[in-house]
Amino acid sequence: MNDLQNKIKQRFQAASRVLITSHLRPDGDAVGSSLALALALLDLGKGVQVVLSDGLPLTFSNLPGADLVRTAAEGDFDLVVCLDCSDRKRIASDLAKRYPPDILIDHHLTADPFGDLNLLEPQAAATASILTRCMPVWGLKITPPVAANLLTGLITDTLGFRTSSTSPETLRQAADLLELGVDMPELYNRSLVRRTFDEAKYWAHGLSSLSRSDGIIWATLTLADRTLSGYTGNDDADLINILSAIEDTQVAIMFVEQDIHRTKVSWRARTPDIDVSRIARHFHGGGHKAAAGAEVTGTLAEVQQTVLATSLEIIAHPPKKVREY
């Protein structure tokens, strides 16, 4: 056990009240990792609160421990853990200010080490992958309910083990979790396949805006689209994954209007030679080489114009490779 792992273990073992949080608009890795860690700590007799400021997405309401999720923290804690969050700005500002993270565990390429202890592994397929390997080292048991949440994190962040980040270790971890009795087909279908009627209507609005130029394909979801469809989330309901499957495209971009002054932008690269995290960083966002995002200030029209122009410029001028001797 290295020094960092030992320090993290000591903090978990010594804590009596733990706050676990993750990024705004939580995805399957954020939810699964948070609930997995929470259930394991509860098994040790710890007091635990799981705070996801935007609430629990309906897709993951079936997961063990889903009832633990709340949108605001209450009380004092002797340990604050932030999971799957690459930037302090991706935590709700009031939460981050009141409860600065003691431990940060993340796998994003652009992760900023804003915790006291930072376990950052950009080569990991998911934060859930880091937890699957490390929790036993920290004295935290992976029970079947914990395993279901960890496997959800693996499934969602690899799009069903289809991304380039999927490694032999990822598949071995999935096999180990399956051996604990987890129903992977059910988790897979709920996480990646099933959609509500409102989500389908929301997608219809986005797909009707579909455009393509110079190797980039993009779509837009407005505040009006959200109202007309009845969709209650403030994300794209994973429509970006549909866009990124369209042939003859280098990069897919999704624009989701948050209010009249802010737009959430998501990028997906279809080819391994394009690093969309470079584009996201330009707009003070981050993520992975193949998948990144940012929240950009400006009207929807202004953001689209700027993001599309910048994306084309950065794609056209990749960083020069350093020659190795």
Q: Which residues of 124-134 are buried (b: 16+ CB within 10 A; e: fewer)?
A: bbbbbbbbbeb
What is the amino acid identity at position 30? A
In angstroms, the CA 208 to CA 205 distance is: 5
**Token pair listed for 263:** 């737009």
Residue 288 gets the label, from left (phi > 0), alpha (psi -120 to 50) or beta, of beta
pTM: 0.89
Q: Are residues 252 and 285 in the same domain?
A: yes
Q: Report, as an integer, the average pLDDT of 118-132.
A: 96
Same domain, 57 and 183: yes
Residue range 56-69: mean pLDDT, rounded: 95
Banded model confidence at residue 87, pLDDT cuts 50, 70, 90? confident
Question: 16 and 157 share a domain?
Answer: yes
261 to 76, 222, 253: CA distances (angstroms): 34, 12, 19
- Whether 170 and 205 share a structural domain: no
Which residue is it, tokens 């929790």? Answer: 135
Mean pLDDT of 216-220: 97
Name the band, by pLDDT with cuts 50, 70 and 90, for residue 19. very high
Query: Mean pLDDT across the stretch 212-233?
Result: 96
Q: What is the dihedral of CA 242, 244, 247, 249, to 10 degrees?
A: 140
Name the domain boundary from 162, 193, 224. 193
Residue span of the structural domain in which 290 resides: 197-316
Domains contained in the chain, number: 2
- Rounded Cα distance between 5 and 119, Å, is 8
